[in-house]
Chains A and B, each alone.
Chain A
Amino acid sequence: MKSLRGALVLIATVAAAIALIAGLWIGPLISVAAFIALFVSCQCGFSLLRTDPMDANSSVVWQDRAIVIAMLSFGTVFGSYVLLHQLGIFESADSPEPGFAFYSLVVSIWALGWLLVEWLADIDSRRGFVRRILGVVIPVLFGAGLLMLWEVLTRALDVPQVLLPSPSAIAERFGNSLSVLWADFKQTFLKAVLIGYAMGCGSGFLIAILIDRSPFLQRGLLPVGNLVSALPIVGIAPIMVMWFGFDWPSKAAVVVVMTFFPMLVNTISGLAASDHMQLDLMKTYAANYWQNLFKLRLPQAAPFIFNALKINSTLALIGAIVAEFFGTPIVGMGFRISTEVGRMNVDMVWAEIAVAAVAGSCFYGLIALIERMLTFWHPSVRSGR
């Protein structure tokens, strides 16, 4: 890893030096930022040369690390501020185009940001709360860096909005259309997705238990389930609109069709996951079918069932959004995406995508959290504790 860091330090240093020299003709702010970037990257380089990997935990190394991380944080934050400030200047009338100095500074700040994440990821704390904070801070920093780069490049290079709007434009559109986004969210997520998800997962689960009990159903229903899973969503969505009307019930029906099969198959394999010895044990206790189901087979199936719940949480959202492309009232995330694309309002499409991404991640995260609580005993969860 040291060679990667060395390369990053080299990139940051060279780019900062170029920015410093070229920036002298542009303005004091770029020069100051470039000077700080140069200073910080040189310090990182010295730290790399000083550090002996053999005594990675001595207090000197810790102190050294803390100083480097503090300097990197300052350098990246200040540099980012200067870059955004410069963008504002470039965009005002009769101003110079962003030049060599600007792009060099972008490269330098990007390298410094990467170095900051590298240094943070290196902290190997035994204390739980430090580790948890780092677990949040590192991905947030990484995401912020990505957004920053996206913002700077789209604005500096004047990328047409139809191709890729800048994050700030999307955020602005987001802030201005909160009521529309909320109505779409309510229509698509709170109605179609959640209701369809509950019905699809619930029916998949119950039918899996029936199939498990009856060999006749196993032969008859399982192939039908297989068939349903192979149906293309663009084929069933219009049919569901014919059957259940334009409003959310037809979308919920598409979600039911999409989520039913993963739940069915996973529950069936989960119910088969109990080993012979466990089943014999229940037999020696003369346990009846329901005791066997609730005290052994369902707990044993829980990891499989949660797997299906997680897969379905993302499938349901995709299903509901795509289904809205085939006939819908004038509200809904899928409807909004299809119409705003037609009107070239790509920033609104991106705002809907952001809503979908946040809602989908939260949905998935919530289920994963419940899974961790309920299947704490499973080796995959246990090792993480």
Chain B
Amino acid sequence: MTAESEQKSDQVISIENLSLTFQTSDAPVHALADIDLQVEQGAFVSLIGPSGCGKTTLLRVIADLETPTSGAISVNGVTPHEARLQRAYGYVFQAASLYPWRNIAKNVALPLEIMSLPKAERERRIKANLELVDLAGFEKKYPWQLSGGMQQRASIARALAVEPALLLMDEPFGALDEIVRDHLNEQLLQLWAKTSKTVVFVTHSIPEAVFLSTHIVVMSPRPGRIHEIIVNDLPAERTLDVRETPEFLQIANRVRAGLRASHSYDDIT
């Protein structure tokens, strides 16, 4: 997670001195300024910060949904554009964004159809990934017949079906209630441990960030920049109970202190 290790082959994402300015009609908005970030293979990196700190924009730059104004970025050793065309990542949005005219199985099949995979392989991946997110038996249901949590799980299965080594998640559980959220957090952690994927996870919840991540990137707004990168040394095997331990609370306090020090804490309370 340091800037000088860019040549190492296990860097999945390498960002150097990256800035992004949106030109608006009145004044330019500095969404991202001087971002340096290295993400190693197998890391679980959370981007945390108040609204408007550029955490979603940073994720969208990695996904080639936004183009940076200056600086260098590589994903899997190539530009984000090439990485996108190679389908190097799976992206989970804030909302499930399932297509209502497709049933759950067909929604998971959508990226696979676009990749023109053979039918047998599609079927295999649909089955495997729906089982992974606990949705086996809901293949024929339509999105509007499922609860919000189930829809979001289906959208995670859809992202996983691409079988990407890199998973980009933009506040995927933001719209869900706390109970469902806890449950999905636990499932996500198990999934990450099982598949050794690299995950970049945007959140504005401190407990969620501490519970899930190996690295927590604290960001501050106006302009969006990285304030601090906290390495989370909690054991990799975590259950929800870990949130009661002093070690957990200590890291949570460091994150909170980081957010406060970046003069942005007032904005998120």
Number of A interface residues in the complex (CB < 8 A): 21
Contact A378 B100 (CB under 8 A): yes
Chain B CB within 8 A of A131 CB:
no
Interface residue stretch chosen among B83-91, B123-131, B183-191, B214-222: B83-91
Chain A CB within 8 A of B95 CB:
yes
Contact B63 A284 (CB under 8 A): yes
Which residue of chain A is the closest to B162 with respect to CB atoms?
Answer: A285
Q: Which of A299, A375, A376, A379 contacts B99 (CB 8 A)?
A: A299
Which residue of chain A is the closest to B112 with respect to CB atoms?
Answer: A285
Contact B93 A281 (CB under 8 A): yes
**Complex Cα–Cα for A295 and B85 (A):** 18
Contact B91 A281 (CB under 8 A): yes
Q: Which of A280, A287, A302, A379 contacts B114 (CB 8 A)?
A: A287
Contact B142 A295 (CB under 8 A): no
Bits for B79-122, please: 1 = Cβ < 8 Å to A, else 0.
00000111101110111010111000000001101110000000
Chain A CB within 8 A of B22 CB:
no
Chain B CB within 8 A of A296 CB:
yes
**Complex Cα–Cα for A284 and B66 (A):** 12
Number of B interface residues in the complex (CB < 8 A): 25
Tally of contacts, chain A with chain B, CB under 8 A: 51
Which residue of chain B is the closest to A275 with respect to CB atoms?
Answer: B97
**Complex Cα–Cα for A284 and B169 (A):** 12
Main secondary structure of the interface of B (DSSP, over half): loop
Chain B CB within 8 A of A177 CB:
no
Which residue of chain B is the closest to A296 with respect to CB atoms?
Answer: B99
Contact A295 B113 (CB under 8 A): yes
Contact B100 A285 (CB under 8 A): no
Which residue of chain A is the closest to B111 with respect to CB atoms?
Answer: A285
**Complex Cα–Cα for A284 and B100 (A):** 19
Q: Which of A277, A283, A299, A379 contacts B97 (CB 8 A)?
A: A277
Interface residues of A (CB under 8 A from B): 277-278, 280-287, 291, 295-296, 299, 302, 375-379, 382
20 inter-chain pairs at a CB distance below 8 angstroms, sorted by A residue, are: A277-B97, A278-B97, A281-B97, A282-B114, A283-B64, A284-B63, A284-B84, A285-B87, A285-B110, A285-B115, A286-B85, A286-B114, A287-B114, A291-B114, A295-B114, A375-B101, A376-B101, A377-B100, A377-B101, A377-B142
Interface residues of B (CB under 8 A from A): 63-65, 84-87, 89-91, 93-95, 97, 99-101, 110-111, 113-115, 142, 144, 162
What are the nearest 4 A-B pairs in CB distance? A377-B100, A284-B91, A377-B101, A285-B111
